[in-house]
């Protein structure tokens, strides 16, 4: 029997969370190794690209969150079989990765330097990408980004939307998504209500994950 071990940060979001949800959706047993940022700083040189998540399949480590999401998504029925719809799914995955890259570039900044960088981001790339994602959602029919059903692309966008609306990013208005791309807010509610996502976030599921 194939063994799986996913290593990612100990929080509900980011690049690793869509993979966790997809693994739960397909009912695959896996070791959910959650590490602190301090732990990661000590182990990062041992990872292929100094980054997480890492998925170990029978002890062999693979990286790159979008590649892992596609792999598990296919197993979980959360990735399109149609080539064009798969392209739409991949485009969305990569767009969210670009947003994460631009936000990540502001980490480590402080004070006025952080404020200036984040305000520039809000008025520039963040607005551009939110409008772009909004358009991709409309192209997909307004409910999902590809295949007229939930895919790993929807899970990845969900994480980004929740993060931007959480208020945890200094100098990024909590209502930015609501103002720029209200259909992404509706999309968030739709994906959170999906039985597979709701089951993952159910208290019993989270208790089991915390014991892994």
For residue 154, what is the domain's CATH number?
1.20.1050.10
- Please give the distance of CA 57 from its chain centroid, rounded to a whole number: 21
* Total-model pTM: 0.93
Count how many domains the chain has.
2
- Tell whether the model's pLDDT for residue 204 goes beyond 90: no
**Residues 63, 98 within the same domain:** no
Confidence label for 203 from pLDDT (cuts 50, 70 and 90):
confident
Query: Is 151 or 44 the better-scoring residue by pLDDT?
Result: 151
pLDDT, mean over the chain: 94
Do 187 and 153 lie in one domain? The reply is yes
Three-state DSSP class for residue 48: coil
Q: Using the predicted structure, report yes or no on whether residue 126 has a pLDDT greater than 70.
A: yes
Same domain, 49 and 140: no
Kindly state the average pLDDT of the residues 169-178: 97
Residues 62 and 119 in one domain: no
Query: In 10 A of CB 142, how many CB atoms?
Result: 12
Same domain, 88 and 184: yes
Per-residue pLDDT at 113: 97
128 pLDDT band (50/70/90 cuts)? very high
Do 119 and 51 have their domain in common? Answer: no
Mean pLDDT, to the nearest integer, of 193-206? 87
Question: DSSP class of residue 87?
Answer: H
Across the range 96-101, mean pLDDT stands at 94
Residue-range definition of the domain harbouring residue 34: 4-77+197-210
Nearest to 163 by CA among 17, 8, 53: 17
Residues 29 and 96 in one domain: no
Task: Tell me: do 125 and 36 sit in the same domain.
Answer: no
Q: 160 to each of 27, 95, 99, 129, how far by Cα in Å?
A: 24, 11, 8, 11
Q: Are residues 58 and 108 in the same domain?
A: no
Examine the domain organization and report whether 104 and 170 are in the same domain: yes
Tens of pLDDT, residue by residue over 6-16, are 999 999 899 99
Judge residue 13's burial from the number of C-beta atoms within 10 Å of its C-beta, 0-12 exposed, 13-18 middle, 19 or more buried.
middle
Same domain, 44 and 93: no
Q: What is the model's pLDDT at position 206?
A: 58
Is there a single domain that holds both residue 68 and residue 137? no
Q: How far apart are CA 151 and CA 21, in angstroms?
A: 11
The CATH code of the domain that includes 63 is 3.40.30.10
């Amino acid at each position: 029997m194939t063994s799986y071990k996913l290593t990612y940060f100990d929080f509900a979001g980011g690049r690793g969370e869509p993979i966790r949800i997809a693994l739960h959706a397909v009912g695959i047993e896996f070791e959910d190794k959650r590490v602190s940022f301090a732990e990661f700083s000590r182990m990062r040189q041992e990872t292929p690209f100094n980054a997480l998540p890492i998925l170990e399949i029978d002890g062999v480590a693979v990286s790159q969150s979008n590649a892992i999401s596609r792999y598990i998504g296919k197993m979980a029925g959360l990735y399109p079989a149609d080539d064009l719809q798969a392209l739409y799914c991949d485009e969305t995955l990569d767009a969210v990765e670009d947003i994460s890259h631009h936000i990540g570039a502001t980490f480590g900044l402080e004070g006025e330097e952080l404020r200036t960088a984040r305000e520039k981001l809000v008025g520039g790339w963040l607005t551009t990408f939110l409008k772009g994602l909004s358009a991709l959602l409309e192209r997909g029919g307004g409910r999902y980004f590809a295949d007229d059903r939930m895919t790993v692309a929807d899970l990845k966008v969900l994480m980004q939307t929740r993060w931007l609306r959480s208020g945890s990013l200094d100098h990024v208005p909590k209502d930015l998504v609501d103002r720029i791309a209200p259909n992404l807010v509706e999309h968030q509610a739709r994906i959170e209500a999906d039985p597979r996502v709701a089951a993952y976030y159910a208290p019993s599921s989270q208790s089991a994950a915390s014991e892994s």
